[in-house]
Amino acid sequence: MASSASKKQKRHEDDVDGELVQDIVRIIRTRNHTVPNYDISNEQIHELVDIIRTNQTRRIRPEVFSAELLHVNRRFNHNEFIYNINVGRNNASSLPDFLQSMNTVFKYLINVMNFNASSPTDKARFYISNAPTASFSTAILNPKIYKYYGKNPSESGNGRTSASKHGRETRNGVFQVVSSKKCFALSLLVGKSFLQKDKQYDVLNVRRNTELATLYTDAQIDDVYACADVPQCSVRIDQCHLFYENYLRADNIDLVIFSKARHDSIVYDSRLDASGNIHHITENVIFLWLNDAHFNLILSSRKFMKNSGSRFCMKCMKYFRIFENATTHVCHTVNMCKKCYAHKAKCAAEEGFKIECSECHVLFYNRECFTKHLTHAIFKNNYSKNVPACRFFFFCKTCYRIVPRMTRTSTKKSIKHKCGQFYCLHCNAIKDQGHACYMKPYKIPAREVLPALYFYDLETRLNDEKFMVPFYAVVQKVCSKCDEKEFVRSQDNFLPHPTIKHCDNSVEPVACCMHRQYVFENNNEDITELLISFMFAQTSNSVWIAHNGGHFDNIFLLRELLVKKGVVPHTVMNGNKIMSMEIRHGDISIKVIDSYLFLAMPLSKIPEAMDIPDLAKGYHPHFFTDLNYVGPMVGLEYFDLSREENMEAFNKWYEIQKTKTYIFRDAVYYYCRLDVDILRQGCVRFARLIVNITKIFPFYDRTCHTIAGLALKIYRANFLKEDVIGQIPPTGYGGNVNQSIIALHWLEEIRENLETQGYSECFESGDINKVNGQRFYVMREKTRRITDLFKDYHFTVVEKWECEYIRECSLSRNTILELGHVKYFTYINLNPCDALFGGRTSPAILFHDVKDSEQKLRYYDFTSLYPYVQKKYRYPTKHPEITRGVDKCVKLNVSQIFGLIKCKMLAPPTMLFPVLPIRLEKLTFALCTTCARNQCNECTHDNEQRALYGTWTSVEVHVALEHGYKILAIYEVYHYPHSAKIFDLYVDTFMKLKQESSGMPRQCIKDDGSIDNVKLQAYIQEYADHEQIYLDASKIGHNPGQRTVMKALLNSLWGKLAQNEDTTVVSFLDDFDDLLQLVNDKTIEVTSLDFISDNIARTTHRKISGTLTTLGNRNVVIASFVTAYARLELFSVLDKLRENVLYYDTDSVIYREDRARGKYLETGKYLGQLTDELSEKNCTEKWITEFCAAGPKSYSYRTNRYIKTLEDGTREERVDEVMHVKGFRLQGDAKKKLLSMLFQVVFSRP
């Protein structure tokens, strides 16, 4: 037979291209080699030959699409197929052709999906990356398509093993199905009993511990499996639908399953439709909990959900609104008709039908919808009586929207609807539409359980894969009872505890915390997993602190948690810097923070700054990482010498070490432990100084992540009064809806005016607009009613949804912002954020050297500039009076305005240092907008082209007018009739403590070292006369720690007030449904999406315009005034010195002194006065002789030769060479070489 077949095949090959046929046979057999006994028949070969012959001369149609499989991955327990699709190549010349090609693409992918699916019940989703913003765009021609199969189908439950209480973790609200391998069937039987209130329920309701075997027979249990046609073994998640369809649905019972392995998220819900939405509401639901391969019954969803359960409805799977509870909450599905609440989908409009209900005044376009809204009683009125939608809602013709007739207040009372009122998220109460919110004083809790503090430091190395991994760590633990107790050591080396792993027994335990120090090492291997396990093993809430951990140490913890542990912490990030992480593990909470955000200095500077005696950072060979090394001292190449500022001390230390045997394990222990000692003592001193003065306990207070947040909390707790600082809406006082830039852009084309809101393609009906508190379907109905009103009066109405217009015109975010700042500036309401500008920094001359021996370059800076302006000046309080429109604003007296002014200004043609800033990508001080934008060398523009458009504080505008600026037009004004010195007491309190801790003035000390009381009292009186601060003579002394803390609090207060609501948020997600919900949330713009592991996604996203909510502790107007006052202080100096200025930076200036022409500055020692930055103790006078600048924050200088008197009395001649380059940290030999080269190139003369 084989020989005969071979001959036939040979003859066939003679008739056609035999080589081609052989290739066909080889390919087919190769691709099907896995099929048993597979062979190709002669008839099939003949068919292939005929196809080849028929099509040899046929022209091939251009391909409709091409599909290339790039990767097959495993993500979120799904199979992920990544394709590169090229659609309509050389063929899609029109939109219909393109759509036909896309249809073919998805048919192909669905076929591939069906081929790969393991069962018909597998779930699949498609995700197209880089979705186009226009309806027909080339961006869609190369999408990545993600396809997910199944939702952990292997997860199952089939009984339990022995444990403390019947086997597994217990949970409130859960009925324990004990000791049964048929736990799924038993859970269903018990669930039906509780729903149907049968005789088994009567027994279980009284005695929950009754053996289920006495209530349910084996036949009943077997019948459950038989009905579902499922074997009596472990039940997988992908089999649950069989139990619902064949066993529960006949009794109108639904099934919902939570999984502990999926962080108690829902893994099966019979109520979901194909779109993943609840399609019907029912109370007959059996809730199961899959806990470690065992099913239990959930009886109380509220208790099961813990804290969130009281605010969550298990029937519609939605959180209650603020004034809803279990009694008044109304369940509804996403697609439910929001007029009658009787149909699963929105009732379609009937042609020619339109009626307004005489009772509720709602417009209806469907007969059945109108009838049902009168009869379908699903709302609960007065807690008991069911009423239809007509008696629960009505259309308020004053508010012009659908509202509830009764509203439940925070006092649990129901009140009738009042026009113009809404729920204020900030006040947590129902308020009038135009009511004023205020920043609230913080009430310090009387008693609070404080967490334990863990200070840690990691030493790292490069592993074989060239990844940085921690190989050594030291952790120290303290609490509020023992944090000031000294760590008593029995020896200097690590002493392992005989029974407690990682415990360092060289440190004596204390009664409250027991063991206080732990060491982690794993023979040069990664120790992050050991550290995380130790964190999870703690039994109480804790705060973990590392210095500069946001840039380094905490990154390793985050990677371990996400990639290996599968734990997703709540992170607060600034770019890639981790500001804080919060990890929930069982009932405990772990907070990870960065101490550098409180003590912004290198770790080596903390002992001096915080006055920690006998403690200094050591030296360590960071490039040597062999824990087992014992031998001679390692070479200098293993040290990072660029870090060592005092090379003389390092060389002495190194010479001593060379005489000893170097034991690296002991050395790294000593170095790492010393770093943690410094960190712990510095942070504890910092915290204790603050809590003793303010009652706010840093680090123990888990709500403060930065020194700015801490300063504002201290201010709110100790200095803020009620109804002083107003809360400003995110986009200003423009009402609930600001005029849209896109709408203006469209209106310019069609010259029609109609406000539209709540497009259904952009927002789900049940979503709430966080700005005005209304649901989007209510806003859509309001728009529809307005449209109908215009049509009834025979107007031609032209509508355009904003999102559609953005797609049609391909408007980018930057384009929209540019339109708002230039083309439509006149029509957009004032945004207070536009008045906030930073410090003024720039070189005035790029280089200068002193040729005249008597000429001096001075470097002066302000003493505490920001605290000074906060104390000296008045700030807007309460809320402003708003004037809009050129016609109204022209009548205002500008000199009497105190607040913000949005206007068009004309600067004088010549002015060395302009007054008003504008923002052209970067902060710019310009006299001509066009010149600044185009960087022109010579200005030839007219007044309109030169005009400056912006929003500025009134104090800046007043100064600008004094210096020749002119106002061309005013568009809007925020005038604050109330103002006050709201920060003076705060500044005085901490200035007093700072000054007292600065030490005794030298003029008050006699030659013999004693204090001259007469001069001391004169100094105290002089300080009081100037600062209105009365120092306590008994408290004046040298206290560097207190001085450092007070200085930090003084400089950090105002920054938190300027916090931006429109910030990018970084989120880590481990649940695919959460990821889909985020990506599809129409109120959020997802700016990036990356998978950092198979089951963890990292997203960056931000709230879109119109959905921002006001932060509780923000007032950008006050922050704008702080920065404006500071810029004006610097401007007064620049305006005096003019052409003598070389460089200026926010609070400092470098200038050429010329006393003969009056170009000099006076110095002083008080707040806000100028001081000499070069002045140094025990040194003769210093000044700059050579200066060079490359741009803002990048400059260098060389001083004159001066004499410094050392501690031993010797005198030494010196010259300082200083370089500052933004983004670079220059130290050691690199700094010396670069400085030498710079001065040689720049200042060398032929």
d(Cα 369, Cα 392) in Å, to the nearest integer? Answer: 15
Top-confidence range, 62-71, 1193-1202, 1231-1240: 1193-1202
**Region 87-97: what's the mean pLDDT?**
50
Same structural domain, 375 and 304: no
pLDDT digits (tens, 9 = 90+) for 1056-1085: 888 877 778 888 887 766 776 677 666 777
* pLDDT confidence tier of residue 41, bands split at 50, 70 and 90: low
Sheet holding 948-953: strands in order across?
881-884, 966-975, 899-906, 948-953
**Region 127-140: what's the mean pLDDT?**
38
Our count of domains for the chain comes to 6
- 62 in any annotated domain: no
SS3 1205: strand
- 1144 in any annotated domain: no
**Region 44-73: what's the mean pLDDT?**
59
User: Which CATH number belongs to the domain containing residue 467 in this structure?
Assistant: 3.30.420.10
pLDDT at 888: 92
CA-wise closest residue to 501 among 525, 475, 480, 478: 475
Same structural domain, 283 and 351: no
pLDDT at 1130: 96
Residue with tokens 């707790």: 717
Same structural domain, 960 and 911: yes
CA-wise closest residue to 1240 among 1213, 1217, 1214: 1217
pLDDT at 46: 62
Question: Taking the model in full, what pTM does it have?
Answer: 0.72
State the sign of the Cα–Cα–Cα–Cα dihedral 648, 652, 653, 657.
positive
pLDDT digits (tens, 9 = 90+) for 772-799: 445 554 556 666 666 776 677 667 776 6
pLDDT at 617: 84
Residue 915 confidence (pLDDT) above 90 = yes
Q: Which of 61-65, 566-570, 1020-1024, 1100-1104 has the lowest mean pLDDT?
A: 61-65
Residue 8 neighbours by CB under 8 Å, 6+ apart:
42
d(Cα 646, Cα 618) in Å, to the nearest integer? Answer: 12
Q: Which two tokens stand for residue 349?
A: 């409009």
1086 φ, ψ to 5°?
-85, 115
Q: How far apart are the first and last CA of the chain?
A: 101
Same structural domain, 289 and 245: yes
Same structural domain, 216 and 257: yes
Question: Measured between alpha carbons, how far is residue 740 from residues 386, 494, 755, 805, 820 in Å?
Answer: 42, 66, 9, 12, 9
Q: Which two tokens stand for residue 171?
A: 């949970």
Same structural domain, 317 and 378: no
- 275 in any annotated domain: yes
Q: Which of 929, 952, 975 is the last residue of a domain?
A: 975
Residue with tokens 């003949």: 46
**Region 662-672: what's the mean pLDDT?**
92
Same structural domain, 307 and 367: no
Burial class, 74, CB count within 10 angstroms (exposed 0-12 / middle 13-18 / buried 19+): exposed
State the sign of the Cα–Cα–Cα–Cα dihedral 1080, 1081, 1085, 1090.
negative
Q: Is the distance from CB of 107 to CB of 65 less than 8 angstroms?
A: no
Q: Is the distance from CB of 842 to CB of 948 less than 8 angstroms?
A: no
**Region 820-825: what's the mean pLDDT?**
60
* pLDDT confidence tier of residue 1041, bands split at 50, 70 and 90: confident
pLDDT at 677: 95
- 611 in any annotated domain: yes
Q: Is the distance from CB of 571 to CB of 578 less than 8 angstroms?
A: yes
Q: Which of 6-20, 84-98, 217-231 has the lowest mean pLDDT?
A: 6-20
Same structural domain, 643 and 542: yes
pLDDT digits (tens, 9 = 90+) for 566-578: 788 889 888 888 9
pLDDT at 1229: 60
* pLDDT confidence tier of residue 757, bands split at 50, 70 and 90: very low
Is the model more confident about 1145 or about 68? 1145
SS3 346: coil
d(Cα 496, Cα 518) in Å, to the nearest integer? Answer: 9
Top-confidence range, 174-183, 212-221, 955-964, 1151-1160: 955-964
Q: Which two tokens stand for residue 1079?
A: 């990506």
Residue 141 neighbours by CB under 8 Å, 6+ apart:
85, 86, 87, 88
Length of the chain: 1246
CA-wise closest residue to 746 among 817, 822, 830, 808: 808
Residue 292 neighbours by CB under 8 Å, 6+ apart:
160, 168, 169, 260, 261
- Residue 1042 host element (H or E): helix 1040-1052
Residue 569's domain comprises 452-488+510-699
Alpha-helical segments (H) within 538-605 = 553-559
Residue 32 confidence (pLDDT) above 80 = no
Burial class, 829, CB count within 10 angstroms (exposed 0-12 / middle 13-18 / buried 19+): middle
Q: Which two tokens stand for residue 317?
A: 């799977």
**Region 140-146: what's the mean pLDDT?**
27
Residue 755 confidence (pLDDT) above 70 = no
Residue 145 confidence (pLDDT) above 60 = no
**Region 700-711: what's the mean pLDDT?**
90
Q: Is the distance from CB of 1078 to CB of 1019 less than 8 angstroms?
A: no
State the sign of the Cα–Cα–Cα–Cα dihedral 386, 388, 389, 395.
negative
SS3 28: helix
Please tell me what DSSP assigns to residue 370: H
* pLDDT confidence tier of residue 48, bands split at 50, 70 and 90: low
Q: What percentage of residues in the chain have a pLDDT greater than 70?
A: 72
What share of residues in the chain are helix, strand, coil (percent, to 5)? Answer: 35, 25, 45
SS3 1234: helix
Top-confidence range, 40-44, 414-418, 516-520, 1156-1160: 516-520
Is the model more confident about 814 or about 688? 688
Beta-strand runs (E) in 95-212: 126-128, 144-147, 156-157, 174-175
The rounded mean pLDDT for the chain is 79
pLDDT at 53: 56
**Region 929-935: what's the mean pLDDT?**
91
**Region 765-774: what's the mean pLDDT?**
47
519 φ, ψ to 5°?
-125, 135
pLDDT digits (tens, 9 = 90+) for 344-385: 677 888 888 888 898 888 888 888 898 888 888 777 655 446
- 929 in any annotated domain: yes
Q: Which of 264, 288, 321 is the last residue of a domain?
A: 321
**Region 544-548: what's the mean pLDDT?**
95
d(Cα 783, Cα 764) in Å, to the nearest integer? Answer: 16
Same structural domain, 307 and 349: no
Same structural domain, 341 and 296: no
- 870 in any annotated domain: no
pLDDT at 163: 32
Q: Which two tokens stand for residue 1181?
A: 């006078």
- 990 in any annotated domain: no
SS3 146: strand
pLDDT at 13: 44
Residue 148 confidence (pLDDT) above 50 = no
* pLDDT confidence tier of residue 477, bands split at 50, 70 and 90: very high
**Region 845-859: what's the mean pLDDT?**
84
Please tell me what DSSP assigns to residue 740: P
Same structural domain, 474 and 571: yes
- 1199 in any annotated domain: no
Q: 3-state SS string over 431-454? A: EECCCCCECCCCCCCCCCCCCEEE
Residue 343 identity = H
Same structural domain, 212 and 260: yes
pLDDT digits (tens, 9 = 90+) for 268-317: 888 877 666 777 777 888 998 888 788 888 887 767 765 444 566 777 77
Q: Which of 395, 419, 443 is the last residue of a domain?
A: 419
Q: Is the distance from CB of 421 to CB of 773 less than 8 angstroms?
A: no
d(Cα 427, Cα 439) in Å, to the nearest integer? Answer: 9
**Region 509-536: what's the mean pLDDT?**
93
Residue 35 confidence (pLDDT) above 60 = no
**Region 60-74: what's the mean pLDDT?**
63
Q: Is the distance from CB of 333 to CB of 378 less than 8 angstroms?
A: no
pLDDT at 784: 67
**Region 187-208: what's the mean pLDDT?**
87
